[in-house]
Amino acid sequence: MSPTELLAPAGDEECIAAALRFGADAVYIGGDLLQLRATKAAFDRRRLADAVSYVHGQGKRIYITVNSFAKNRELQPLAEYARFLYDAGADAAIVSDIGAVSVIKKNAPDLAVHISTQANCCNWAAANVYYNMGAERVVLAREMTLEEIAELRAHTPKALDLEAFVHGAMCMSYSGRCLISSFMNGRSGNRGECTQPCRWSYYLVEQKRPEEYFEIEEHDGASAILSSHDLNCIAFIDRLRDAGVTSFKIEGRMKTAYYVASVVNAYRRRLDGCEDIDLLQRELESVSHRPFASGFYFGEVTGNHFNDGLYHSDCLFVGVVQDAVPGGYRIQQRNQFKTGDTLEIVAPDRLGDSFVVREIVSSTGETVDSAKLVGEIVTVKTDAALQRGDFLRLRKS
């Protein structure tokens, strides 16, 4: 496959470092205005500027999400924010609102603009309008098929980049414009405050029998009938490239660094020519996800796609390698593991390697049978070759 951009999400500095180390060409983060995610995923201005410097120091690109639909009161702050992003060196702003595009282009004309998937661009006429407004890239609507993407590509300037999501959570509503959270909790998904009620478990109740709950579909005593599948394009990413996509985007600014590293690792290997889809799929199954699907790329979703909607993973993330010590490594523990466990190594230069834990020494110097305290720095005795930033996991089966 020819070189393309692999674009990874990052909700904090640890995720940025993991994404770049495992092969992302670019990352996208949110700042303090219109960033469409929870506050914990927002970088303040000092951290944002530092992130830009760090990413550029690695020879990679960084894009800033400004993709909420703007309210009147936010237009004036947006003008100043656009100038800040340009001065900070951001490679682009990802924007949904056409008014916000106008404000950004007026106040920071040299700041590149990428049109967010929230704008629901699904035809070449709309893409050309955005291009004429100064956009350098369109993040395609998730409802598009491969054939529709190819047709859009044929009717748009080659200078307009096309970006598409290839992996991660999908929303049950059209291009993410959902009101369920607003209705049930007063927290708008369109303002980055979604409580994700579509992923909750629901039961059927008859009006005159309010105390009787009927399972709609049984799965461990619950069902999540409104929850969508997660997108997974590892097996056909070459067809997206052939349709004209130039940037492959992974969803997940609220995900952990372990998740980002694992998913980026799989897609980096696929883009670099790995043909062992089963091996890469095994990597993607190792992190928490809902049932996988190919989205709309092969046509409208029809028939019975009912699923439990619940999260699954084949592995438990147990630690991050800190540094080497005589006879082993210091590990920051994230979930419990014990002596005798076989831990898999998640690293950019290897896939599927593992080692057996011979001995664990606690932060107080005691030899212990297991690492139980989340965040504790323990020493693991092993002859395995590890590097700082490697992730360790325990396969459940």
Query: Minimal CA–CA distance to 395: which of 286, 238, 237, 270?
Result: 286
Non-local (6+) Cβ contacts of 115 within 8 A are 94, 95, 96, 101, 121, 130, 135, 137, 138, 139
Q: Amino acid letter at 338?
A: K
Q: Are the C-beta atoms of 346 and 317 separated by less than 8 Å?
A: no
CA atoms 175, 181, 183, 189: torsion sign: negative
Q: Give kind and range of the element (H or E) at residue 391.
A: strand 391-395
Q: Amino acid letter at 232?
A: N
Given this model, what pLDDT does residue 366 score? 95
Given this model, what pLDDT does residue 217 score? 55
At 302, list the tokens. Answer: 């029809």
Q: Are the C-beta atoms of 145 and 245 separated by less than 8 Å?
A: no
The C-alpha atoms of residue 333 and residue 337 are separated, in whole angstroms, by 8
DSSP letters spanning 302-354: -S--------B-SEEEEEEEEEEETTEEEEEESS-EETTPEEEEEETTEEEEE
The C-alpha atoms of residue 346 and residue 153 are separated, in whole angstroms, by 37
- Domains, the chain, in order of start with CATH, read 5-170+228-293 (3.20.20.70), 174-215 (no CATH), 315-395 (2.40.30.10)
At 53, list the tokens. Answer: 């410097």
* Helical residues (DSSP H) of the chain, grouped into ranges: 13-21, 45-57, 75-88, 98-107, 124-132, 146-154, 180-185, 237-243, 257-271, 277-285
Q: Are the C-beta atoms of 209 and 295 separated by less than 8 Å?
A: no
Which burial class, exposed, middle or buried, applies to 231 when counting CB atoms under 10 A from its CB (0-12, 13-18, 19+)?
buried
Distances (CA, A) of 175 to 158, 162, 183, 296: 25, 16, 18, 12
Given this model, what pLDDT does residue 119 score? 93
pLDDT, block means (10 residues), the chain with 397 residues: 85 97 98 85 95 98 95 96 98 97 98 96 97 97 95 97 94 68 70 70 76 63 68 96 97 95 97 95 94 89 57 94 96 97 95 94 96 95 95 93
In this structure, the dihedral spanned by the alpha carbons of residues 256, 257, 259 and 264, taken in order and rounded to 10 degrees, is 140
| Per-residue burial over 345-372, b = 16 or more CB atoms within 10 Å of its CB, e = otherwise | bbbbeebeeebebeebbbeeeeeeebbe
Given this model, what pLDDT does residue 218 score? 45
At 113, list the tokens. Answer: 């603009």
**Chain centre distance of CA 339:** 33
Given this model, what pLDDT does residue 385 score? 95
Query: Minimal CA–CA distance to 205: which of 191, 216, 218, 220?
Result: 216
* pTM attached to this predicted model: 0.89
Pairing of strands 92-95, 61-66: parallel
Query: Minimal CA–CA distance to 21: which of 47, 64, 63, 59?
Result: 59
The C-alpha atoms of residue 180 and residue 243 are separated, in whole angstroms, by 34
At 24, list the tokens. Answer: 């992302």
